Structure 1
Amino acid sequence: MTVRNQIIGLIRFSYPATEGFAVSGMDEDALLAMLYDPARLASRFAYLETITLPSLAAQTDGDFTCVILAGDTLPDACKKRLRALRDRFPFVRPIFMERMGPLPSAKRSFRRAVRDGTTHVTGFRLDDDDALAVDYIAKTRDRADRLIAGGFADNPLAIAFTRGLYWDLNDRAAPFREFRETYAPSLACAMVTSPDMDTCIYRYNHRRLASFIPTWLEPGGAAMFIRTLHDTNDSGRSIPPHSKPMDTVQGRKLLVTRFGLDPDVAMGLMRGGAS
């Protein structure tokens, strides 16, 4: 059998899931009012268009699709703006879906992007305010293809790179810190599955992923992800206590060399502007 491994990413953009987020338990009207507040949506678009998608556009391997999942109740102007992103980022595929749980919405999103003839899907997850290193797709494909060839992907299998940067958009004095996760992080992490998608990378809490499926963890090499911290993080992110501070000059350099970002434009998102 000829192996055709398709790489598909999923970004959830203000999607009103019925569970899985700190705000999911809100009354639906209140939840939509919060998610679709114009100021909040403006900031989410700024992160998406300035940090997340440019890091994907800079990939050394451009053979992938990235679904952006949003609710079918998203304001029309925002739907139009997401669709227009395809002109700048041809790998983007916006999907607007009714409200449901995080797992069924994720599985449906991945399935809609599967091409005919695909034998395996390597599905990665990414938040709309984070970034992946420019060689993430290439390295993920390499590891996935080797594991598939070795017979290790007959059942779901995870691949994760654990070294990355935390970037505090509120800390102008020392915004960057380096860290290596002790488990699969929630980004720079993918799952190899069959194309019918009985499960996907959103099935398990990433901290416990290796408790349920075989997981290839790769701690070495250069930083593979950026996790941002700012005032609207849903998950209450914080700087890990054992992270190492990084000089801002070095951090700015990595924005360019590892993530394909314009440091002046990207750091303009920080509180008080660029530094």
Structure 2
Amino acid sequence: MGIRNQIIGLIRFSYPATEGFAASALGDDALQDMLYDPARLAKRFAFLETLTLPSLAAQTDPDFTCVILAGSTLPDEWKDRLRTQADRFPFLRFAFLDRMGPLAAAKRGFRRNVDGGVTHVTGFRLDDDDALGIDYIEKTRDRAARLIDGGFAETPACLAFTRGLYFDINSSDQPFHQFREAYAPSLACAMITSPDIPTCIYRYNHRRIATFIPTYLEPGGNEMFIRLQHDDNDSNRSAPPHAVPLSTRKGAKILRERFGIDPEAAARLMPTTPKDWQ
């Protein structure tokens, strides 16, 4: 039987996990009040609809599925708004799950969307405020095929692209930096497994994946991810000390050409639009 490798992504959208996030220690009611605050959700939708989903829609290889994982307790009006995205983005699927650990929830999200007859699943992770380069799926499929053909994915194996763009929406003076991560980043990173999903890309801290899983890192080429910086980040996302600043005009051009993102729409995410945006 020939190799059939299905590519599936998973985005956690305000999912009330029992661990793994700064707010996970909160009780059910307090966590839901925080996650489902209308102003917060409106902001998360703005990021998702302006950056994340357009970058997936622009993929040069459209043969993939992306699952949005959200809580079963997400209010209906917001569930409906998520579901309407499938009209614009046919690659989307949804998993509304009860509160549980982040790994268990992620594995269920992946497993529910595995096609029959596939020999491998390459599962990628993506936050709801980040974006992927327009050739991410194409290159991930190619690199995964090479690893599988070479016998390097008989057990779970990872692959990641380490060059990306930091985009600070609160910095009108210097919103863009280029950087190459020294380890597998938390995005533009995927794990090849068997179709029963014995583990998944959310199993390990991305900084330590190579400690446990054979990992292929590709540092060259163009920017493959956008890491957004804003006031609602769960973890610190400041640009690393050795990141290279880019002119605002060049950064806006990269948004359009590398990520399929409308620079004018992205500028509306910023409290103050830089004068030399375009």
Question: The TM-score by the shorter chain falls in which range?
Answer: over 0.9
* In structure 2, distance between residues paired with 1:237 and 1:138: 27
Q: Deviation digits for residues 168-217 of structure 1, max 9, x if unmatched? A: 01001110000000000000000000010110000000000000010000
Task: State the match for 1:38 in structure 2.
Answer: 38
User: Using the alignment, how far apart are the partners of 2:124 and 2:148 within structure 1?
Assistant: 16
Map of 1:66 onto structure 2: 66
Query: Structure 2 unaligned runs (5+)?
Result: none
Unaligned runs of 5+ in 1: none
Cα deviations across residues 118-152 of structure 1 (Å, max 9, x unaligned)?
Answer: 11000000000000000000000000011111111
Give the C-alpha shift of residue 273 in structure 1: 4.5
Q: What TM-score comes out, normalization by structure 1 length?
A: 0.99
Partner residue, 1:249: 249
**CA–CA distance in 1 between the matches of 2:15 and 2:180?**
29
- 1:229 has 2:229 as partner: yes
In the alignment, the residues of structure 2 paired with residue 56 and residue 78 of structure 1 have an alpha-carbon distance, to the nearest angstrom, of 21
Q: What's the CA shift for 1:94? A: 1.4
How far does residue 250 in structure 1 lie from its aligned partner after superposition?
A: 0.6
What is the aligned partner in structure 1 of residue 106 from structure 2?
Answer: 106
Match of 2:76 in 1: 76
Aligned-pair CA distance for 1:272: 2.6
* 1:238 CA displacement: 1.4
Residues 39-58 of structure 1: pairs in structure 2 closer than 5 A: 39-58=39-58
- Give, in whole Å, the separation in 2 of the partners of 1:192 and 1:224: 19
Aligned residues: 275
Amino acid at match of 2:180: R
Query: Corresponding residue for 2:123?
Result: 123
Greater alpha carbon shift after TM alignment, 158-167 vs 262-271: 262-271
In structure 1, distance between residues paired with 2:270 and 2:58:
22
Give the alignment's Cα RMSD to 1 decimal. 0.8
Structure 1 counterpart of 2:148: 148
The AA in structure 2 aligned to 1:182 is A
SS at 1:52 equivalent: helix
Q: Which residue of 1 aligns with 2:14?
A: 14
Counterpart residue number, 1:190:
190
Deviation at 1:162, TM superposition (A): 0.3
Letter in 1 for 2:218: E
Letter in 2 for 1:44: R
Q: Letter of the aligned partner of 1:99 in structure 2?
A: R
Aligned pairs (5 A) from 1:250-265: 250-265=250-265
Q: Which amino acid aligns with 2:9?
A: G
Identity %: 69
Alpha-carbon separation, structure 2, partners of 1:239 and 1:261: 21
Q: How far did residue 95 of structure 1 move?
A: 1.1
Equivalent-residue separation in structure 2 for 1:96 and 1:10 (angstroms): 12
SS where residue 250 of structure 1 aligns?
helix
Q: Which residue of 2 aligns with 1:28?
A: 28
The one-character-per-residue Cα deviations of 1:5-64 (angstroms, maximum 9, x if unpaired) are 000000000000000001101122111000000000000000000100000000000000
Amino acid at match of 2:37: D
When the two structures are superposed, what TM-score results if normalisation uses the length of structure 2? 0.98
* 1:236 Cα deviation from its structure 2 partner: 2.4
> In 2, distance between residues paired with 1:17 and 1:273?
35
Corresponding position of 2:91 = 91
Q: Deviations over 1:66-110 (max 9, x none)?
A: 000000000000001111100000001011000000100000000
Q: 2: distance between equivalents of 1:271 and 1:173?
A: 12
Q: Which amino acid aligns with 1:135?
A: D
- In the alignment, residue 251 of structure 1 is paired with which amino acid? G
Distance, in Å, in 2 between the alignment partners of 1:266 and 1:111 is 33
Structure-2 separation of matches of 1:122 and 1:271: 37
For 1:185 and 1:219, the matched residues in 2 are separated by 11
